[in-house]
Each structure stands twice: as structure tokens, then as C-alpha cells.
Chain A
Amino acid sequence: MGKTIMIVEDEQAFHDLYTMMLEDTDYEIIRAYDGDEALAKLEEKKPDLIILDILLDLVTGDTFFLYIKGMPEYADIPVIVCSSFSEKAYKNLKEMDPKLVFLEKPFTKEQMIEEIQAKIG
């Protein structure tokens, strides 16, 4: 069985596009539409990687990130932030986890696959 990637994104179109991008790989995909749902799904299964949007309803992506980095059992999960905001706007997240990768929208499929492989092979 391949590795698990959790995608936290509020727009359905992004979910559809990410799924198509990863359909040739054997990654298992968990979908969540906001931070709250993502937290609930974390408890069910711990993913190997999280792809995270920032602007989410209820619990936003940055809050969710800071929350999991503060929890010992999830702190080690690598995270790729895919957002229309630059890394500069969320310096505090990078300070919390220097290994965090920021992928600024719009990005290409190649960029995303590269980042995923760099994290979990």
C-alpha cells in the first residue's frame, strides 16, 4: 500500500484537479474541506503528508498548522502549503517548522509532484 496524503482545501475544483494530478501514483488520498474536518480525519488515520490551503472556513489553514505542530503525535507530518499567499505573509509558520514548503498559486503539476516526492518519495 502506498503512502497517504491528506488534502485540506475548501474549493471542490482544487480537490478534483489534485486528484487527477495524483491518479497515476499509488498515494492514498484523504480529503478535508476545512481545518475542523481535517482534525477529525487526522484522528482516524495519520497521513504521511498534508497539502494545506490557508483560506478555509471555520478553522483556517494557518491555525490548523500551528495546532498540529504543537501536538507531539502530529508534529512530524511534513506539510506543503498551497495558497495564493506568499511565504512572506506567513513567516510565523516557517518559523514554527523550517522544513515547511510553500507552493504559491498558481503552480504547475510538475512543481507539486516534485515537492511531494521530495517529502515522501
Chain B
Amino acid sequence: MFSKIKLVTKLLCFIAPIMIVVMGAVFTWIIKKEESFIRKEITKNAEIIARQLEIIRAYIADKQDLINTDLETGNVTFKGLNPARVGAAISKEFTESTNFVMKQTSLDYRNPDNAPDEFEIRMLKQFETTRDNEPIWGEDFDKEGNKRIRYILPLYIKEECLQCHGKPAYEGELDITGYEKEGYEIGELRGAISVAAPAKQMEAVIKTNSLILLIIGIVSTISVIFLTYLLIRKFIKVPLSHTVAATKAIAEGDLTRRVDIRSGDEFGELAESFNTMAQSIEEKTRELEKTTHNLEMANEELRGLDKVKDNIIRDVSHELKSPLAQLRLALELWSEGIKDGKKDKDKEELFDGIIKDNIKRLNNTIESILELTSLEFGREDYDKESLQLRDLVIRVIRSSTLLAREKGLTIKSVLPEKLPNVTVDKQGITRVVTNLIDNAIKYTDKGEILVSLQQKDSGLEFLVKDSGIGINIPQEHHHKLFDRFYQENVATPGTGIGLSICKTILEAHGGKIWVESEGKYKGSTFRFTLPIINEKESLVVDS
């Protein structure tokens, strides 16, 4: 569950409680410190005034003889200024003019105003036992329930106290002030100076300060958390998000994606490594794609070749089996007739024709296959000689005229004189020209066939144009016509290797062959070129 939370939230989940605890501790510590400081301040003040009173009392006690003795007469009269009265007067004045309450108290008090309260009784009893000189601090509540800080300073009997509080010379001896002497000895506890300071003010100060501190605490905690968030965001979240986005983009196929972080920290390093990796992936992927593409192409080519192979087998099997079937049936029927003793001249002629035609057909097929195979393996020896191509073409046209005339076709020729010689194998080129002209006759039923020859650049261009069945395949596939066994229409008689042989022969002469047609029944134009080679070059070629 926690692992699914975003990084920033996670970090804040850790940082925020720590911040709150730390700020809380600091806050408490400051409050405590402040409280203790204020308390010290108050107690210090209380001590000062108590000590002051103690000193005044000691002074008054010390000067009693001087105060009460008439310097002129030497008579001693109590003037009403003993430590107890002076102390009471100062305490009263002090209490009335400040918010401090000061009084003199004793377990064995003479003035009822000095009667001790609960706290004072407890402390006085403690001093009585311990005889400790150190003042005691404490806290209690006044009658209204307000908290007070208490300070109590013990007063022990000293030499000068004895004249009023010492041992009576006789039972019921009164001192100068008119009270019975209690019979104290030096060092015994007589009473204490008690100061009570209200804690209300202190509490109010602490409360205000705490509030201010609390506000400062909350504000600074929030600020620190927010600042931390901003820092995390700027230095961790943003670069991390960029990297994550880039990773996702690359995973989704955008291999050109890079991380744009230029800081010198770990994220900068990460971005740099990431970009290097992405670059590498991109290059490798491109390579892989290229390889895959090449493989696909090769595969496609192989499939194409496979199909070509299948077609070749199919066509060759047809070209062999079909005549064989006719021969078999013809022979069977003929021999049946002979057995039955029937003699039918028409039938015999028919059988004779079928048998002759099919033997010729089989022979042609087999010869074509053998010829092409030998051509492709380079076994054909070309016997090159320099000759006028025009003469060669004219001879072929002459021999084909009869065939054309049978179909009612005319052959028109445009053959300029004085064309340069070409260096070719006479038999091979004759075969090419014959094949092209015979094809034109074979695939044309009416009209004329144009044969022309002309010089073009550094070669001669031969052309046969017919008005026949044309070519029913797109221009870009025309080259297939020159593939072995390719037949545009499978039902057309023939082996489909004539054009392939033409191509092989022409290529061996440095020439090329191609065809143009505007479509089905729009005629075809076959052209080939042969390079003109001068005598010198010819010698080099031959050698």
C-alpha cells in the first residue's frame, strides 16, 4: 500500500512527523526555560526585598538602645521602633504599593496580623527542625484560588533579640514593648519573613509567549515542510518525472526521446547515462529494423522465387503432359482402328497430324529447356564477327514472310542503309530477331507488323511493333516477360522461354531488351539495343 504512494508524499510522510516532533520539543523546552526564567526573576525580587527587610530589622535591633535612650537625660523610653513594628510597617506599605504580599510571621506570634497561613506553618515547622538558614521556595493558591509563588526566609534568635525575646529574669517579665519575654535562646527559630508573589502575571506572560511561540512553530513547521516539498520537487521530482516520461515514451516506441536535465548532480549523471542508453537503443533498433526489413525482403523474394518455381513446374508439366496425352489417345484410337480392320483416311490424316504436331511440340519444349540451361550456365560459345545488322534482319524478315502471309499480315520494314557494323554472334542474334518477329506474327491476327533499325547514341536499336493482343500486365511487371517460363496467359501454347533466351543472348553482347504496350489488344513494341564497337575495341574484346 505504502509502496504505491508517490515519492514526494512518501518523503513528506517521513519529514512532517519529524518536523512536528522536533518543533514540539523545541517549543516545550523554550516555554519551560522561559517559565523558569520568569520564576527566577520573581524569586530574586522576593529575596531582595525579604533580605532588605531582614537587614533593616537587624539594624533596628542593633540600634534599639540608641533609639530608646534619651541622650540628654539618659532615660530609656520605648519609641515604638523595634524590628517587629518597623518590619510590619514596611511590609504593610510594600504590600499596599506593589502586587507582592510581604509579612512577618511566627508560630508564636505577638501581633495577630502575623498569624501564619498553612504554607507558612508548614515551612516554619520545617525550619524549627532543620534550623536551616536557606530560604525556601514554593507555590500555593490564595483565597481566590490564584496561584502564588512563595518565599520564606527564616529568622533565628540572635544576641540582640534576647532583650525582648530572651529568658525572663522572673516569671512574667515584660520587655520594653510590653510583651512577656518568651525565653528564647540564641539560634532558636523566632519566625520568618514571608513574601508571596502572584503567578498570575507570570502565567499570562507565559501564555502570550507560548501562543506566539506556537504560531511561530506552526508557521515554521509548515514553511519547512513546504520548502522541503519545493526542494524535493525541484531537485528530485521534476528530474525524475522527466526521466520517467522519457522511459515511458521510449517504451511506447518513440526512440528519439531524450531527457533534458543539465544539472551536475546524480540526476544529471542519470540523464546522461539514460540518453546514452537511449541513443544506443535507437541505433540498435534502427539496425534491427533494417535487418528485419532486409530479411523480410529476402523472404519475400524467396517466396516469389518459390512461386516462380511452382509456376515453372506447372507450366513445364503442362507443356510435356498435354502433347503426351494427345499422342497416347491418338495412338490408342489408331491402333484400335487397325485392329478392327477399319480404314478411314480422314481419321488417319487427323491422327498423323496430331502425332506429328505433338512430337514437334515435345521436341521444341525439351530443346528450349536444354538450350536455356546451357545458355545460363555460359556453355554457349559465341562466335563474334563484325556485320551489318540490316542484312541479318532482312534475311529473317524474308523467311518469316510466308508465315505472316498465311495469317494475312504484312511486314513493313524501315531499315536505313550505311549503319555502323556491330560485332555479334550471327547465329545468336538471328535467333533473337527471329523470335521477336515470330512472336509478333503469333500474337497478331490482323494489321501489320513494323520492323525498324536505327542508330541511337553509341548503339543500334532494333524495334518490332505489332497490333496484336498487347500486354495485360502493368508496366512495372513487364520485365517478368523475360523471365524463364513466364507466360502472361498460361493457356497460350509455347514454352514461355523464347524471350528469356533473347535476353540472355543480348546481355552476353552488352545489349538490353525491353517491351512497351498500352494494354490488352493494343499491340506491343519490343526493342533491343546492341553497342557499336569499333575495330580496335572489337579486337580487345575478342582477345
Spell out A's residues near B (CB within 8 Å).
Answer: 10-11, 13-14, 16-17, 20-21, 34, 55-57, 60, 84-85, 89, 104-109
Contacts and interface: CB of A to CB of B under 8 A. Distances in A.
For the complex, would chain A's binding face be called helix, strand, loop or mixed by DSSP majority?
loop
15 contacts: A11-B326, A13-B326, A13-B358, A14-B326, A20-B333, A34-B491, A55-B491, A85-B314, A85-B317, A105-B321, A105-B324, A105-B325, A106-B325, A108-B329, A108-B332
Contacts of B333: 17, 20-21, 109
- Say what secondary structure dominates the interface of chain B: helix
- Report the contact-size class of chain B (Cβ under 8 Å from the partner): 20 to 34
B162 to A, nearest CB: 145
Contacts of B354: 13, 16-17
A106 B491 contact: no
Interface string B477-516: 0000000000001111000000000000000000000000
A11 B325 CA distance: 12
B330 A84 contact: no
Given A13-B354, A17-B326, A17-B330, A84 B321 contact: yes
A21 B336 CA distance: 10
Contacts of B350: 16
Given A13-B326, A13-B358, 18 more contacts: A11-B326, A14-B326, A17-B329, A17-B333, A17-B354, A57-B492, A60-B491, A84-B317, A84-B322, A84-B325, A85-B314, A85-B317, A85-B318, A89-B314, A105-B325, A106-B324, A106-B325, A106-B327
A57 B322 contact: no
A107 B347 CA distance: 20
Contacts of B327: 106
Nearest to A10: B491
Contacts of A60: 490-491
Contacts of A16: 350, 354
Contacts of A108: 328-329, 332
Nearest to B310: A89
B330 A55 contact: no
Given A13-B354, A16-B354, A85-B317, A106 B489 contact: no
Nearest to B327: A106
